[in-house]
């Protein structure tokens, strides 16, 4: 290689890198593809947090709902908690999956911070989490009336996430239900 051409090498490497960075701008690092999209919610035999009553898949499906994976050890869950309450107050059914947590701590949390959940599935060992492919808390699944997972959101749900991604899907799922 001519000596002068060699000096262009850093430039070329940089251009390749810049192309990747440009591509990166339009990708969402938080978006997690789930193998379970358009698959039925996995079956489970667990208990309810409130009263230790057995709880299974059949008990929680039948109408469109959000399934929110949370835990008391998860700081971000605390951040999204007030917004979940707001959603629940506006009529969106939310089921909690209390993931790898202590029951007493979880109950205390709901007592202190408010309880936006229809019911909480106690997933102490994280078995349901494994079936769902939970990546970390918080995570939220949109499940339709037939118990099919329509969408998965990794991370905190806030006003923006709800407005931009979840709400349109939610309306779609509701519309499907009313016009069979």
Contact positions with other proteins (CB under 8 A) in 31-50: 32-33
CB 62 within 8 Å of CB 148: no
Contact residue for other proteins among 39, 52, 53, 108 (CB under 8 A)? 108
**Residues 139/154, Cβ–Cβ less than 8 Å:** yes
Burial per residue of 61-100, b for 16 or more beta-carbon CB atoms within 10 angstroms, e otherwise? beebbbbbbbbbebeebeebbebbbebbeeebbbbbbbbe
DSSP letters for 31-89: ----TTTTSBPPP-EEEETTT--EEEHHHH-SS-EEEEEE-TT-HHHHHHHHHHHHHHH
Min separation Cβ 10 and other proteins, Å: 5
180 is a contact residue toward other proteins (CB under 8 A): no
Tell me which of 36, 50, 79, 176 binds other proteins, using CB under 8 A. 79
Q: Does 82 bind other proteins (CB under 8 A)?
A: yes
Helix residue ranges, H only, 90-142 = 103-113, 127-132
Q: Can residue 104 be called a binding residue for other proteins (CB under 8 A)?
A: yes
Residue 59 C-beta: closest distance to other proteins, Å: 28
Our CB check for other proteins shows the closer of 17 and 130 to be: 17
Range in contact with other proteins (rule: CB under 8 A) among 45-53, 77-85, 118-126, 166-174: 77-85
Q: Could you list the residues that contact other proteins (CB under 8 A)?
A: 3-4, 6-8, 10-11, 14-15, 17-18, 20-27, 29-30, 32-33, 72-73, 75, 78-79, 82, 102, 104-105, 108
């Amino acid at each position: 290689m001519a000596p002068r051409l060699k000096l262009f090498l850093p430039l070329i490497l940089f251009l390749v890198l810049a192309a990747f960075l440009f591509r990166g701008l339009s990708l969402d690092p938080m978006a997690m593809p789930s193998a379970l999209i358009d698959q039925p919610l996995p079956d489970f035999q667990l208990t309810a947090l409130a009263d230790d009553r057995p709880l299974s898949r059949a008990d929680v499906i039948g109408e469109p709902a959000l399934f929110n994976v949370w835990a008391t050890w998860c700081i971000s869950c605390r951040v999204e908690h007030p917004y979940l309450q707001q959603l629940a107050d506006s009529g969106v059914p939310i089921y909690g999956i209390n993931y790898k947590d202590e029951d007493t701590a979880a109950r205390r949390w709901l007592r202190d911070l408010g309880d936006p959940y229809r019911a909480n599935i106690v997933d102490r060992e994280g078995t349901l989490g494994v079936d769902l492919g939970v990546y970390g808390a918080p995570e939220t699944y949109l499940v339709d009336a037939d118990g099919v997972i329509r969408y998965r959101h990794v991370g905190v749900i806030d006003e923006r996430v709800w407005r931009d991604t979840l709400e349109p899907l939610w309306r779609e799922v509701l519309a499907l239900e009313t016009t069979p």
